[in-house]
Structure 1
């Protein structure tokens, strides 16, 4: 055969091969690398995993780049699997020849001679272990090399390699077996994960630790022979046992993770603002709480960092694994009746409108607002009350007195400007007492404004997704500060002294029918919002927000670090001495028209006159007409009852408190109990902050700041104001 014929045959064969390759390539495009979409990791702010989701087939594969993997692992992988990876075009002919020789010699497949590129080809397009299957794999490998760079192909392998069960990819394997990111792998861990994809079902360290250790040592020996390890390193490493991550990955913020997965379906990794340690401790706290709750009851809690408007902790149900408590219902985002939790913002708007100051005289008396007749929870009325006292004690009639003057429509429109939408058909007075729907997250956002100069800001929950929305001011700095002070002046429930002392403005709420129990607290740096109840809306009779939600809220505050900020009093807020019944400043009132004096927080020294029950300012310095009428009837009824119960006229007592002096200061660190005495100890009734007490003593742990102590016999009282400090 002449040289000319040989060249012709060679060129014809080459042309045939090229044409065949072109036809095959055209009819067999590369399949998608990740056909079932990405698995998803929801991360805490420090990159620790909160919850993971598999892809459409339930496979856990978390995307990792070369930079996110241990350099030693990459070196070991290439040395053990494909030392010529960066030098061949998808196929190493010498490896194939060696594999073919072993097959002929032993009569079975000893090694496949596959490069990393060929392994990627088999992973994206599985084939039978036959000669035709191997040829198909080779063709796919060349195709991969044509379209992708070496770095991209190596990245595909890192994310597709099987590691046992539904675990694929180095990131999922590192997290599953060692509880760490692949960048943090030790040399021994890296060596084990290099060999595991060869036979993941047989080498799994959690099932076959002895076999896994032997195969790991095989890799270490190869690395030692290839000078990637020195003799001392090799000697020490092969003595180590395979140590797996013992603790199962906790499921933290699972309902938040589910929400984010649904909202960002194409994201495979989401880093949140959640504080991992705080979330873990909060999860334990809620789990402990579940043991004290009645059947089917759940709880939800969210914590905000006020300066950044970040969500730092999010617990949508009391125990995610307890199906009997509707654990999969996210009560942070569920719409429920807020009870009394909107009341502070009615008072704050009234402050901004110049209707009240902190000690304005309000009327807690029976009233009819065009057919709407609000009642207090205990069915009783207190008569004349200050705005601060009415807010702290959550009295209903004074709240409606203010809302009626503001108008429900105006109140609601102010909230809607900042994106706070309440759920009801038409604005009405019942909104002030919980006749609407809102969410726990919305309440947290709203209360945060009390420590943010009245600004409502969009809440941040993702680190890597910029929040382009701007804050909206719904309250002035003055009214938000005064409302904060009014709410923080009330004592916390009986509880262990907290490790971190902080000023907390807080409010509770109980919805109609005893279905929802709320507590929201604001410190200088944090907002904590709590809901307790049954997700199916069945009632929990005998429970209150103050007894169920408030203790949990204060327990959550105890998990937080000390506040770093200090809220400063606006310069236009002043402490002004005012008079009742007029509500005006003492300096504007004749001495004979001032029945009682009060220190009020005012804005720009404004002291609006007292309002009647329907919101109109009084035009004289007397008691509002309906309040005066109620006081008169109450006095007549009390006198008649006294005469009915005694054949003798009521004695004229001159009552005086003998154990206290006005303005005295007491410290919890020095004294726990304060005994109360008076000039008539047998007949006297005692009141602290206008609330009756059964024993003539004060437990200082129950009170803080300015405290009013009253001793009364019939209608005669003596009152002393003392100050209690930590």
Structure 2
């Protein structure tokens, strides 16, 4: 029967009015009762390596751990089993299933208690977000929240929320954390039995926990398998086989890796669920295992820190902030990659590099290693001795202090400081002065690693990255030029020619430019090395700044650095010599090119690397250039006083080059030491504990305790004292 027009019009108006009323009611309810935060107790953050391996996890404010995942990161069979067992109509209903609710209500009326809940996955997510009492009012509240979820989120997003919020017993939430906790695997690689158990576990996580009630867990798992079999998702043979298997739990044997880095990243990104780092899982594990061995040889309360950087990408591949995160006696929770300490001699290469860039020196410029007071500052060499005339390359390789300050004085501490700041590197001192060159400032391992990396990258400093995607835990600097491509190559070349005489043959031969440093008072021991592909920075010492007398960067930090390099992959890249680095024959004492020096003024010839062929004159100790190719005045006077100048040729005193005073050696690590001096081997007589010694290698197995090593040429001798341990 056709309704009259007026009646139809009235019904349409009524329907429109009801719709408007319902929309207004929904809008009002949504305004008054908005969806609660998805993670009201904050995120439970997990920090992972570049490969996705967990480095460290942090619970939310309630101590709940979850490792957030996306749908593609979960085993498809688990998803299929979950939907089949919990909510077959998930992708079709509006958030609730009216048939399931009616069935549950009918069963409740008949039996007087809950037989089946009737909750969809959306409703379960609603209850996890906003818990309610088990009452009629609570159920209506849950239904409202489910409708809100369906309004705001897609089905896949709601399913993902369930995967990450569902409880799995104890302080574990989410399928990924559950897979790791119970089966030491990821949700991506679950077996069918593991998947079936994790499907049912959230129903009653405290009662079905497989680590406490394995038989109950098995029965519930088989219930899921039976449902899957009845639905045709499991064949009969597979069902029979799987249902007979026991519940097998596995415990992960992984230890926390890079825990201090993870702590820093958690503080830096407090709202992120997953922080993916640049850490290479394999390299990080190797470094961690290496430091377990290093710890055994360290003095009590001492620690160590290591950074490994990929030069090409600026990514940090390994980050060890302390020697043992579990050992509080060694200040385990102090991150020594970030701690500001005196860098000792580690800034010297950059002072020489800047001086080359400004035309003050070339690699073989004559410097004066003699007693000299620069204004009110009188530096001393570590061994307390002086060599007189010495080249830039030898002064750098031997880490001589007085020649360095001579160059630093000519360069100017303010110029050095300004160029460092321009490159984004801020050293920790009030006003730049000459003491900065020998460690009278503060910096940290991150900054040193960034600086030394530039030696293999044409002098360019870039931010070190530790978070995938370009974010940084600790910004270092904007991309900038610290040294020119010419001076950075020259410094790299000089440092890479330093031999490590007490090293065994490395696993992988590579070119390494390296420098050590020891801070004033023997508080910090540094070693930083850069190969074409990698930079390795090491700090050793006591985090509380207590001195460790008798040790040096060369004896404590350098061996660790070389051992870390041995853990790294082979590399094919080379640091190529720029075309503008020109090798020229120069003359001492004037320092200029042979072609620009009169024959009678060229007492000693050397091949030097220069920038664009520039050969500046030799420096006087006070920073002025010499005139007329003469010997520097103060150096000439010192030579005459020492009576070691003859016909214009400075005759250098004999000096032991391979061993430093006070070094400690362990026979378990080193078999022999090479005996070298600055004189021809045929002219040198060696004495060990004042007895003649004819071999060129000192066998450590023959000695213990303090050993006196003496090298003599004629009436001149040099002496070192070392300590050999079992």
Counterpart residue number, 1:158: 163
Asked whether 1:358 is paired with 2:363, we answer yes
* Structure 1 position 301, deviation (Å): 0.9
Alpha carbons of 1:583 and 1:686: their partners in 2 closer, same or farther (altered >3 Å)?
A: farther
Counterpart residue number, 2:227: 222
Q: For the residues of structure 2 that align with 1:492 and 1:627, how far apart are their CA atoms?
A: 31
Counterpart residue number, 2:64: 59
Counterpart residue number, 1:199: 204
Q: For the residues of structure 2 that align with 1:31 and 1:673, how far apart are their CA atoms?
A: 69
* Structure 1 position 186, deviation (Å): 2.5
Choose which of 555, 568, 582 in structure 2 pairs with 1:560.
568
Asked whether 1:482 is paired with 2:490, we answer yes
Asked whether 1:298 is paired with 2:306, we answer no
Counterpart residue number, 2:630: 622
Structure 2: unaligned runs, 5 residues or longer: 1-6, 646-653, 655-671, 701-710, 719-726
Asked whether 1:50 is paired with 2:55, we answer yes
Counterpart residue number, 1:584: 592
Counterpart residue number, 2:82: 77
Choose which of 696, 699, 709 in structure 2 pairs with 1:698.
696
Q: For the residues of structure 2 that align with 1:168 and 1:520, how far apart are their CA atoms?
A: 43
* Structure 1 position 363, deviation (Å): 0.7
* Structure 1 position 159, deviation (Å): 1.8
Alpha carbons of 1:258 and 1:210: their partners in 2 closer, same or farther (altered >3 Å)?
A: same
- Give deviations 1:382-411, integer Å, cap 9, x for gaps: 111111111111111000000000010001
* Structure 1 position 636, deviation (Å): 8.2
Moved more, 52-61 or 26-35: 26-35
Q: For the residues of structure 2 that align with 1:615 and 1:303, how far apart are their CA atoms?
A: 38
Q: For the residues of structure 2 that align with 1:361 and 1:696, how far apart are their CA atoms?
A: 34
Asked whether 1:280 is paired with 2:285, we answer yes
Question: Superposed, which structure 2 residues align to 1:312-461 within 5 Å?
Answer: 312-461=317-466
Per the alignment, in what secondary structure is the counterpart of residue 491 of structure 1?
A: coil
Q: For the residues of structure 1 that align with 2:415 and 2:692, how far apart are their CA atoms?
A: 43
Q: For the residues of structure 1 that align with 2:30 and 2:366, how far apart are their CA atoms?
A: 87
Alpha carbons of 1:67 and 1:332: their partners in 2 closer, same or farther (altered >3 Å)?
A: same
Counterpart residue number, 1:500: 508
Moved more, 117-126 or 358-367: 117-126
Q: For the residues of structure 1 that align with 2:625 and 2:181, how far apart are their CA atoms?
A: 69
Per the alignment, in what secondary structure is the counterpart of residue 238 of structure 1?
A: helix
Per the alignment, in what secondary structure is the counterpart of residue 530 of structure 1?
A: strand
Q: For the residues of structure 2 that align with 1:451 and 1:240, how far apart are their CA atoms?
A: 57
* Structure 1 position 675, deviation (Å): 11
CA contact (8 A) 2:423 2:478 kept: no
Q: For the residues of structure 2 that align with 1:716 and 1:312, how far apart are their CA atoms?
A: 46
Alpha carbons of 1:676 and 1:189: their partners in 2 closer, same or farther (altered >3 Å)?
A: closer
Moved more, 304-313 or 92-101: 92-101
Alpha carbons of 1:499 and 1:31: their partners in 2 closer, same or farther (altered >3 Å)?
A: same
Per the alignment, in what secondary structure is the counterpart of residue 202 of structure 1?
A: coil
Q: For the residues of structure 2 that align with 1:416 and 1:346, how far apart are their CA atoms?
A: 14
Counterpart residue number, 1:658: none
* Structure 1 position 31, deviation (Å): 2.4
Choose which of 127, 131, 150 in structure 2 pairs with 1:126.
131
* Structure 1 position 286, deviation (Å): 1.5
Moved more, 455-464 or 517-526: 455-464
* Structure 1 position 49, deviation (Å): 1.6
Per the alignment, in what secondary structure is the counterpart of residue 643 of structure 2?
A: helix
Q: For the residues of structure 1 that align with 2:717 and 2:325, how far apart are their CA atoms?
A: 56
Q: For the residues of structure 2 that align with 1:264 and 1:72, how far apart are their CA atoms?
A: 33
Q: For the residues of structure 2 that align with 1:676 and 1:391, how far apart are their CA atoms?
A: 18
Counterpart residue number, 1:520: 528
Counterpart residue number, 1:149: 154
CA contact (8 A) 2:123 2:146 kept: yes
- Give deviations 1:124-180, integer Å, cap 9, x for gaps: 222233344334333433443344433332222222110111111122222322333
Q: For the residues of structure 2 that align with 1:711 and 1:560, how far apart are their CA atoms?
A: 41
Question: Superposed, which structure 2 residues align to 1:104-143 within 5 Å?
Answer: 104-143=109-148
Per the alignment, in what secondary structure is the counterpart of residue 203 of structure 1?
A: coil
Per the alignment, in what secondary structure is the counterpart of residue 51 of structure 1?
A: strand
* Structure 1 position 413, deviation (Å): 0.7
TM-score between the two structures when normalised by the length of structure 1: 0.85
* Structure 1 position 682, deviation (Å): 12
CA contact (8 A) 1:255 1:316 kept: yes
Counterpart residue number, 1:471: 479
Q: For the residues of structure 1 that align with 2:382 and 2:681, how far apart are their CA atoms?
A: 31
Q: For the residues of structure 2 that align with 1:43 and 1:682, how far apart are their CA atoms?
A: 58
Q: For the residues of structure 1 that align with 2:164 and 2:639, how far apart are their CA atoms?
A: 79
Q: For the residues of structure 2 that align with 1:683 and 1:598, how far apart are their CA atoms?
A: 22
Q: For the residues of structure 1 that align with 2:573 and 2:681, how far apart are their CA atoms?
A: 47
Counterpart residue number, 2:667: none
- Give deviations 1:161-220, integer Å, cap 9, x for gaps: 101111111222223223333233222221111011011112222232332222212211
Q: For the residues of structure 2 that align with 1:180 and 1:59, how far apart are their CA atoms?
A: 19
- Give deviations 1:258-311, integer Å, cap 9, x for gaps: 112212222222211111110111111122212221222111111111111111
Per the alignment, in what secondary structure is the counterpart of residue 535 of structure 2?
A: strand
CA contact (8 A) 2:181 2:251 kept: no
Q: For the residues of structure 2 that align with 1:414 and 1:594, how far apart are their CA atoms?
A: 35
CA contact (8 A) 1:494 1:701 kept: no
Q: For the residues of structure 2 that align with 1:599 and 1:479, how far apart are their CA atoms?
A: 16
* Structure 1 position 72, deviation (Å): 1.5
CA contact (8 A) 2:278 2:468 kept: yes
Q: How many residues align?
A: 662
CA contact (8 A) 2:502 2:673 kept: no
- Give deviations 1:78-106, integer Å, cap 9, x for gaps: 11011122333333333234334444454
CA contact (8 A) 2:620 2:626 kept: yes
* Structure 1 position 466, deviation (Å): 6.0
Q: For the residues of structure 2 that align with 1:147 and 1:629, how far apart are their CA atoms?
A: 87
CA contact (8 A) 2:424 2:478 kept: no
Alpha carbons of 1:430 and 1:480: their partners in 2 closer, same or farther (altered >3 Å)?
A: same
* Structure 1 position 452, deviation (Å): 0.6
- Give deviations 1:403-448, integer Å, cap 9, x for gaps: 0000100011111111011110101000000000011100110111
Alpha carbons of 1:264 and 1:684: their partners in 2 closer, same or farther (altered >3 Å)?
A: closer
